[in-house]
Chain A
Amino acid sequence: MKKVISLLLIGFLLLLVPGCYDYNDPDEIAWVLAVGLDKGKQNKLTVTAVVAVPKNIAGGGGGQPASGGGGGGGFFTVSMESPTFLSALELLDSVVDRRADLSHIKWFVFSRALAEEGIAKYIDVMARFHQFRRTSHIIVCEGRTEDFLSKGVPKLEDNVGKYYELLQRGWRYTEFIPFDTFESFYLKSKMPGVAPLGILASLNRKEPVYTGNSQKEKGNYQAGKIPRKGGGELEFMGAAIFKGGKMIATLNGNQVGVQKIFDGTMKRTFINAPDPKHPNDFIIVEAKPRQNPQVDVQIIDGYPHIAVDIKMEGEVVSIQSGENYTTPDRLYIIENAVEKILYKEISDTLAKSREIEADFLGFGLHAKKLFLTWPEWVAYNWDEKYPEATFDIKVDYKVRRTGLLHEMAPLQ
């Protein structure tokens, strides 16, 4: 009997222990879903934290707007001036009643101004501090991050965390959004031979800027310059290229598409190829990689010679002219048209990479195997030699299906 009672007492006492150390119910924690860093107004940095308001999210939204600059979407933002990143989060605990938890952060947003100045010192804390997870993403926004985050209110979601996830998940469906998790961003930053990139983002502009209605490439835009009216508050398109922890250039949508082909993160895309017989019309095809890109690097006269072989396939989505290209003996016309446009996009992007002297396509990773030891590879100084590289591009596109129409007759 004594034993039983003492066991029960011990069990009861055990229940008191959790309160002492590290036991936190989720409703005692402020969930930070995104952090933005910007050049400070009064101190070195302006750190903006997006804090979720769970009761609005769980209750179906529509709760009262909370403090800070936030609106709907079940969140509010807090912007603080601070000398370092984490000290701002400590400040956060003094302005938000609940303890801030960073383990659900989706985005690290840097303003373009800060990114161009250099973000290396902030990357360190993200990689080192245990609460940050490496599946989050690096985003570079045009303008101030505090505006970007506080005005980025989702239209469809009640949960801003879901909005962030889904917006970034666009990389699966469109070629215009690059894919680099913080993990790969960090690894690429450490490694000679490849340059990391962050997603380029921007707030929707009040008024769209239209520059004449001549024919332009659809991917010829980047965030902040997409000619549109309406839609969500935030836009993602293009990428920011980093070198040595500094943002050095931006890529437009098409260039990101090529980067994704070489990175292996391209899932599918649409290609608008000009119709060879009807200059005003397009042949639109879906394209997806048939196999991994073949990259063969040779060192000729001390400089790299890079042969790339891209193999893609897909189905016809639209032939605007109504010309019947879908018979087996005429399919090559479509294929050639697509190959031509792909070739152009790839060579444009390669030219860009040589121009900005950053190998964001990762050819260095293929060149690495030519060197027997790491010091040899480092001594070769790829980043310096790369701009002088010569290229040999081969593109192969195959039409697999012609869509739901087989032998099409033009409209009479």
Chain B
Amino acid sequence: MLKYLLYRKPSFIPSVFESGIEDRMDENSNQSGGNKKEGSAKDSTGFGNGGRQDQDGRGGGKSKDGGVKSNPVTEKRFAGKIAENKAIDDIMNNKVRLYPGLDNNKQVLEKIFRVPQNKDPVFRPISIGTKPPTRAMLLYLDGITNTQLQNSTILQPLMLLSELRNVGQDGGAAVGNQDDEDFIERIKEAVLPSNQVSEAETFEQVVNDVLNGNTALIIDGFDRAILMETKGWQYRSVGKPQVEAVIRGPQEGFTELVKINTTLVRKILHRPALVAEYVNAGAVGPAQCAVMYLADVANPDLVKEVKKRLELIRADYLSEPGLVEQMIEDSPVVPVPQVLTTERPDRVAAGLIEGKVAIFINGNPFVMLVPCTFFNLTQSPEDAYIRWPAGSFIRIIRYLGLFMALLLPAHYIAIVAYHPEFIPTDLLLAMTGAREKVPFPSIVEVLVMETSFELIREAGIRIPGTVGTTLGIVGALILGQAAVSANIVSPILIIVVAVTALGSFAIPNYSFSLSIRLLRFVYIMLASVMGLMGILVGVYIHIGVLVSLKSFGVPFMAPAAPVTIKGTDYFMRGPVWSQEARPDYLDPLKTRRQPPKSRSWLRRGRGKRGGGGK
């Protein structure tokens, strides 16, 4: 370790991951990594070596210094495999068209899906019940399709009922001289009662659709395939939000499936202008990432920017908003989230109505809302659901919590060590008396306690549920009476740490809370060096950074800095009827949400009814 610290040879040292040991194990087990290739259509230039890309998984694909190198040993040993992979990639990337012959197509698809090692793809040969029978083949992935649906809407009609509908290849009674085109059309129109049917001409289309749970029908003699909707994978049902719980308000949370998530929002916003666009973000594959906005409200530039950023991501594995967030945020270095992540459909709907854009990623119950400001991060949807005085009150409590979580230990240090004249004599003497037997300086005390609190917090998340109660006991011992009676810390510090903890739990946004936890230590350091002066310097820099920050073009501290038109809902919570305008910083297409007299029943005849948003 020390050797590397002092001197490092400017040569390449292969790590365990880069040596390819893990990859080789992967390859031996039937190359299961192949599934991840589907979205690579657009990024054939993104990586030097297509073969490497799909074996490296997360580690290799995201190296920032571009120093991703193939291991020559591996390359030599598996030259055949790599060549094969490359050939398959070429088929996908170059959008090779299907062959007219069924057997050729089957051969290629088997190669692509790595059959026979891979047991999941099912190639089901059938014969369509025409006169004479037509040879065809169904392709789907076992387990992610709905078997009943396949039986009743694909197999049955094709094998048993097609005769009844007269779709003979050789010219049935209904139609005279049919060519190829008509046969496929007839199948689609008359035989398949699937609710979504489309056609594909390239291998890439077929493969992507099959990977998404659909079934492909390839008919002998045609260079096209019919794709039928048969998605039927397992997913968690819509449940309560786990992180953002509220007392009043809907108790529905997002689930892992992007389709369900967009539906949950659509359930709240019954508007034709609610657009859900599917975007290819990185290699997550088509139809995995949705951008949702209200076409008549959201600023088109904002929508364009969001789509642009998503589409221009070049990455391998991004099926988590946290990863996408890091790819699209404006300033990745600043420890403040610039994207609002939520698992509540109502919150997303509220954001969309304001003119924000939501980004859904498949496979995760968290949805991103952009742009995001400081005030969004400190708000909870519940503020709006309760009456406004209470809403304002809990916001004040939350700002207090924010202050406590960020600055309380630092202030403790500063006041105790540098400014004892700040506190009443009684308290000072009580604190001094309690500290008499503590052997450490206050700063060490604070660091010990804060670190052990962070440990407890981290352990609390990672601990298996069955032994969870142990943690409570251990935690209570560390952060409790035992520490005091052992004279390690003074009792007042326990209170400081506890209040700090409460404060950080009151912050509604998890990643914001994380950043506060991190910055707390910086402030403790500053306070221990320069007292309140240090804290002041820290706050000065901190606010300066926040003010210069932008989230998708919107200043992070808007509408406070820069000062723009403020609604009644940014710092405190105003009454609902006074919230007439959408946030100015979003520059929406419609500024007005409701007319000045939104409670038209108030003075009859004088209030203007309707007309909102015009």
Report A's interface with B, CB cutoff 8 A: 1-2, 5, 11, 14-15, 17-19, 22-27, 29, 31, 33, 52, 54-59, 74, 101, 103-104, 106, 133, 159, 161-162, 165
Are A31 and B529 in contact, CB atoms less than 8 angstroms apart? no
Rounded to whole angstroms, the CA-CA distance of A98 and B431 in the bound complex is 16
Q: A25-B435, A103-B421 are in contact. Are A57 and B443 (CB under 8 A)?
A: no
| A-B contact list, 24 entries, CB within 8 Å | A11-B525, A14-B525, A15-B443, A15-B447, A18-B417, A22-B418, A23-B528, A25-B417, A25-B441, A25-B442, A26-B416, A26-B431, A31-B425, A52-B429, A57-B429, A57-B433, A58-B429, A58-B433, A74-B429, A101-B420, A104-B425, A104-B428, A159-B425, A159-B426
From 410 to 467 in chain B, residues with beta carbon under 8 angstroms from any chain A beta carbon are 416-418, 420-421, 425-426, 428-436, 438, 441-443, 447
Rounded to whole angstroms, the CA-CA distance of A133 and B421 in the bound complex is 9
Are A59 and B421 in contact, CB atoms less than 8 angstroms apart? no
A54 in complex: contacting residue of B436, B447, B525, CB < 8 Å: B436
**B5 at the A interface (CB under 8 A):** yes
Q: How far is the CB of A138 from chain B (nearest CB, A)?
A: 18
Are A55 and B416 in contact, CB atoms less than 8 angstroms apart? no
B528 in complex: contacting residue of A18, A52, A104, CB < 8 Å: A18
- CB contacts (< 8 Å) of B4 on chain A: these are 1
Are A55 and B528 in contact, CB atoms less than 8 angstroms apart? no
Report B's interface with A, CB cutoff 8 A: 4-5, 416-418, 420-421, 425-426, 428-436, 438, 441-443, 447, 525, 528-529, 531
- CB contacts (< 8 Å) of B441 on chain A: these are 18-19, 23, 25
- CB contacts (< 8 Å) of B417 on chain A: these are 18, 23-25
7 residue pairs, one from A and one from B, having the closest CB atoms: A58-B433, A103-B421, A54-B433, A54-B432, A161-B425, A26-B432, A27-B435
Q: A15-B443, A58-B434 are in contact. Are A103 and B529 (CB under 8 A)?
A: no
Are A59 and B433 in contact, CB atoms less than 8 angstroms apart? yes
- CB contacts (< 8 Å) of A52 on chain B: these are 425, 429, 432
Q: How far is the CB of A219 from chain B (nearest CB, A)?
A: 31
Rounded to whole angstroms, the CA-CA distance of A23 and B429 in the bound complex is 18
Are B425 and A15 in contact, CB atoms less than 8 angstroms apart? no
Are B430 and A58 in contact, CB atoms less than 8 angstroms apart? yes
CB-nearest residue of chain B relative to A164? B425
- CB contacts (< 8 Å) of B438 on chain A: these are 27
Rounded to whole angstroms, the CA-CA distance of A56 and B433 in the bound complex is 7
Q: Apart from A26-B435, A54-B429, A57-B430, what 7 extra A-B contacts exist at CB < 8 Å?
A: A17-B529, A25-B435, A25-B441, A26-B420, A52-B432, A55-B433, A104-B420
A29 in complex: contacting residue of B420, B430, B436, B442, CB < 8 Å: B420
Are B432 and A15 in contact, CB atoms less than 8 angstroms apart? no
Are B420 and A103 in contact, CB atoms less than 8 angstroms apart? yes
- CB contacts (< 8 Å) of A103 on chain B: these are 420-421
B418 in complex: contacting residue of A23, A27, A55, CB < 8 Å: A23
Are B426 and A162 in contact, CB atoms less than 8 angstroms apart? yes
B425 in complex: contacting residue of A1, A18, A19, A33, CB < 8 Å: A33
- CB contacts (< 8 Å) of A5 on chain B: these are 5
Rounded to whole angstroms, the CA-CA distance of A161 and B429 in the bound complex is 9
- CB contacts (< 8 Å) of A56 on chain B: these are 433
Q: How far is the CB of B203 from chain A (nearest CB, A)?
A: 44
CB-nearest residue of chain A relative to B521? A11
Are B443 and A18 in contact, CB atoms less than 8 angstroms apart? yes
CB-nearest residue of chain B relative to A101? B420
Q: How far is the CB of A312 from chain B (nearest CB, A)?
A: 34
Rounded to whole angstroms, the CA-CA distance of A31 and B425 in the bound complex is 9
- CB contacts (< 8 Å) of A26 on chain B: these are 416, 420, 428, 431-432, 435
Q: A5-B5, A26-B420 are in contact. Are A55 and B436 (CB under 8 A)?
A: yes
Are A27 and B429 in contact, CB atoms less than 8 angstroms apart? no
CB-nearest residue of chain B relative to A1? B4
Rounded to whole angstroms, the CA-CA distance of A101 and B432 in the bound complex is 13
Rounded to whole angstroms, the CA-CA distance of A242 and B264 in the bound complex is 81
Rounded to whole angstroms, the CA-CA distance of A243 and B238 in the bound complex is 83
Q: A54-B433, A54-B436 are in contact. Are A165 and B420 (CB under 8 A)?
A: no
CB-nearest residue of chain B relative to A2? B5
Rounded to whole angstroms, the CA-CA distance of A24 and B421 in the bound complex is 12
CB-nearest residue of chain A relative to B1? A5
Rounded to whole angstroms, the CA-CA distance of A31 and B431 in the bound complex is 12
- CB contacts (< 8 Å) of B528 on chain A: these are 14-15, 18, 23
Residue of A11, A26, A54, A106 ringed by the most chain B CB atoms within 10 A:
A26
A31 in complex: contacting residue of B418, B429, B434, CB < 8 Å: B429
